[in-house]
Amino acid sequence: MADPLTGIANWLENLLLGWGLAEGFVTFLLAVLGVLILVVFLLVIDIILVWVERKVVARFQDRLGPNRLGPFGLIQPVADIIKLMIKEDITPIGADKLLYNLAPPFAMAAVLLIWAVIPLSSSVLGADINVGVLYIVAVGSIGTLAIILAGWASNNKYSLLGAFRTVAQMISYEVPMVIVLLVPVLLANSMGISDIVNSQGVWNIFIIPLGAIILLITAIAEIGRTPFDLLEAESEIVAGFHIEYTGMKFGLFYAAELLHALTVGALFATLFLGGWRGPYADQFPILGVFYLFLKAFIIYYVIMWIKYTLPRIRIDHMLNFNWKILTPVALTLLIVTAVTDKLIEGVSPVLYVAIMLIINVVIAWVIVTILRNYTKSERKRVGEERPVAQPPMETPISGLD
């Protein structure tokens, strides 16, 4: 069955070659066209994400959400965008104009660049590089750069403080994320993402569920969502590094954050849920795209679920959690997976999956036990008798009775 996307690409290529253009130029033109189509598609999905976000948060909070504009409030995101665009564009005095204007596009670019290596179907892939996983880490660090530029260029002490804390959190959580990203690489024997997807006969989430959980936690910390969102919540240092941004520049930060959440969903789906794989995805590649986005939206829903259920974590608890719990667990998982994978080579697939699953459960149980004992000892230590303040003695007021 002819793949519609490849068919259209071939027809366009023949058309352009027929017009007499050079071959290298035609390849370049088609690449630019592919990039444009993908970016426009993602930005349109970003608009839909605004609506999804507001409806879902409303339902979690037992209310209806926007329902005035259009059926089910579907025109609401358009109204939001128009509002952002007609707002006054204020640049604070003393702000470094170049960096101030450069930061929002950088933040958006850091998210869009990740989609270059995610295979959308068996035949649609932006760039088939053999170091795809490392590329994703590299591009994530560009987002960190955008935040610190935004914090500095706003000429605002609190914005700078917020940017410092954001960057500290993001680079701390990169460490367990990179370690956990190595586990699917280990199982697939290659860093290229299309190889990882092709090797998932059994989805990776059944083989290394602990790795999936750690990736979800670290990715939520990377994108700055609750419970890790003290960087940008309104009650914490007045909204963090994007205090001084108004209008469409703030809109870019906001849109980049939503799209980043969906990108994390797509990444998780690609590495752990089999990506575009599903029934009949080989014969009809367009189904591959549908499956990928279905899985990505399910993970996005889980991320939103976590966001609107859990309270915020304090920054010292957050960094403690990262360095004392997540990093050792990720390292242990990597080492145990590597050793087990080598030891049970050549075993039937069902037994392989069962053994890896059991090992993951064992590690998780050990960690939970350690944490439980630690919490018990902490509670005992904190719950000691401490002198409590006494109210002042009742003195009768003379003259009144």
Partner 1 sequence: MTAVQIIFIVVAAVTLGAAIMVVTTRKLLHAAIWLILTLFGVAIFYVLLNAGFLAVAQVVIYIGAIAILMIFAIMLTRQLAIDIGPQVNRGWPWALLISLLLFGSLIWLFSNWSGVSTELPTLSSRVDPLRELGVSLVSPNAYVIPFELVSVLLLAALIGSIIVAWPRKENED
Residue with tokens 């419970």: 227
Q: Rg (Cα) of the chain, in Å, rounded?
A: 25
Q: Is 313 in the site for partner 1 (CB under 8 A)?
A: no
Q: Which of 138, 335, 347, 368 binds partner 1 (CB under 8 A)?
A: 138
Asked whether position 173 contacts partner 1 by CB under 8 A, the answer is no
Q: Which residues 6+ apart lie within 8 Å of 369 measured at CB? A: none
Q: Does 135 bind partner 1 (CB under 8 A)?
A: yes
Question: What's the CA gap between 17 and 93, in Å, rounded?
Answer: 53
Least distance CB 360 / partner 1 (angstroms): 26
Give the DSSP per-residue string, 16-28. Answer: HHHTT--HHHHHH
Maximum C-alpha span of the chain: 109
Q: Give the nearest distance from C-beta 20 to partner 1 in angstroms.
A: 18
Instruction: Say which amino acid occupies 331.
Output: L
What whole-number distance in Å separates Cα of residue 172 and Cα of residue 168? 6
CB 163 within 8 A of CB 152: yes
**Choices 77-85, 126-134, 236-244, 324-332; region in contact with partner 1 by CB under 8 A:** 126-134
Q: With respect to partner 1, which residue has the nearer C-beta, 135 or 173?
A: 135
Give ∠ CA 184-188-189 in degrees, rounded to 5: 115
* Residue from 18, 20, 24, 391 binding partner 1 (CB under 8 A): 24
Q: How many residues bind partner 1 (CB under 8 A)?
A: 27
Instruction: Determine if 169 is a binding residue for partner 1 (CB under 8 A).
Output: no
Residue 163 contacts residue 147 (beta carbons within 8 Å) = yes
Taking CB under 8 A as the criterion, the residue among 145, 302, 325, 344 binding partner 1 is 145
Chain residues 178-207 in contact with partner 1, contact rule CB under 8 A: 191
Q: Hey, which residues between 84 and 113 contact partner 1 (CB under 8 A)?
A: 96, 99
Find the helix or strand (DSSP H, E) in which 45 lies: helix 23-60
Among residues 144, 166, 204, 263, the one that binds partner 1 under rule CB under 8 A: 144
| 160 is a site residue for partner 1 (CB under 8 A) | yes
Report d(CA 110, CA 125) in Å as an integer: 18
Q: Is 129 in the site for partner 1 (CB under 8 A)?
A: yes
Residues that bind partner 1 (CB under 8 A): 24, 28, 96, 99, 129-131, 134-135, 137-142, 144-145, 148-149, 152, 155, 160, 164, 167, 171, 174, 191
